[in-house]
Structure 1
Amino acid sequence: MQWQEVCENQNLKNLPFKIELNDQGKILMTPVKVNHSILQGKIIKHLYQNITEGEALAECAIKTKQGTKVADVAWASQSLLEKIENEVECSIAPEICIEVLSFSNTKREINEKKTIYFEQGAIEFWVCDSYGNISFFVKEGQIEHSKIAKNFPKNI
């Protein structure tokens, strides 16, 4: 299955799950709890408070060699948005890709997403735990603070 087909399939609309595709085009569905959505909203609020140019993207579909993955939140600069805004899924990962951990995430899954988002052009990868603690990463490893959103809090 291709991402365009997922987006157009009437049976897959309004499901209470995050949908992704694996590298064979099979649908993966991940349920989330209310706290997950609350944290996504807080991250978006803080992104707009800390970065003036660009847009926050909720549930951002990114085309990767491992299939279509969906960052819980992403931030794309205006120049990147001009390239991707009319795409069905981002051919280039936004500059910041953020995963909010849920009970179903494994460490392996998050590390794989980190790797493939960097391969697709992300500059930073953030992980938010269920308590609102944020960890920031660049390709070379973990960093103390975001280099893009310099004043983003470590806890939201």
Structure 2
Amino acid sequence: MSTVLEAPERDAVEHDRTAFNLAVWDKIVANPEFAAMAYRFETDEHGQIIMSPPPAPSHGNQQSKISRLLWSVPAQGEVVSECPISTRKGVKAADVAWCSLEIWKESKGRSCLLRAPEICVEVLSPSNTRSEIHEKKELYFDAGAKEVWLCAESGQMNFFSPSGSLERSEICPEFPKKV
């Protein structure tokens, strides 16, 4: 599969990763055929679409619990589910994210966030591989995330900073270790 961009528009933005990701994502979001599909979308570094089936209801339940708890973060910010983030390897969608008002405002009117929110959360599914989750974690950190949280199917939370594993979140220390 090739990128959703045609040669002239691809050539105009290919030298700028963020502009390239935004151009690809804008086309995907604007396509009514994609909007009608029940799939989740991300892209790779070449602008190719990666589709995956919708997750199980338990996955969405974990996302909802995490979202509700994140609204209690003391600092002002926004909680976003299925949050599209421009990374060096395409647009990746964090299951849940918390971002400061600064990041939220800089991405206003955009189809995806220009940099990663401070907290990116992945709710793990049986189909996730360790290498896939490790890569997403690294991509979020490369894009500016301060913490990446992983939620196991059991609800067990694991917290990470760019330097490694954390006992608990430093941004939201009251967040429970299990949801």
Q: Normalising by the residue count of structure 2, what TM-score does the alignment of the two structures yield?
A: 0.84
- Greater radius of gyration (CA): 2
Equivalent residue number for residue 48 of structure 2: 26
Equivalent residue number for residue 142 of structure 1: 165
Q: Percent identity?
A: 38
What does the per-residue CA deviation read over 1:29-62, in whole Å, with 9 as the maximum and x for residues that have no partner? 1221110100000000110123341010110101
Question: Within 5 Å, which residues of 2 pair with 1:111-150?
Answer: 111-150=134-173
Secondary structure of 1:42's partner? helix
Question: Within 5 Å, which residues of 2 pair with 1:1-156?
Answer: 1=4, 2-31=24-53, 32-156=55-179
> Which has the higher relative contact order, 1 or 2, with Cα contacts under 8 A spaced 6 or more apart?
1
Q: Normalising by the residue count of structure 1, what TM-score does the alignment of the two structures yield?
A: 0.96
Q: Aligned equivalents of 2:36 and 2:70: distance in 1?
A: 26
1:55–1:75 contact (8 Å) kept in structure 2:
yes
Stretch deviating more after TM superposition (116-125 or 76-85): 76-85
For structure 1, list consecutive stretches of 5 or more residues without a partner in the other structure: none
1:30–1:104 contact (8 Å) kept in structure 2:
no
- Give every structure 1 segment of 4 or more consecutive aligned residues whose post-TM-superposition deviation is greater than 6 Å: none
Q: Number of aligned pairs? A: 156
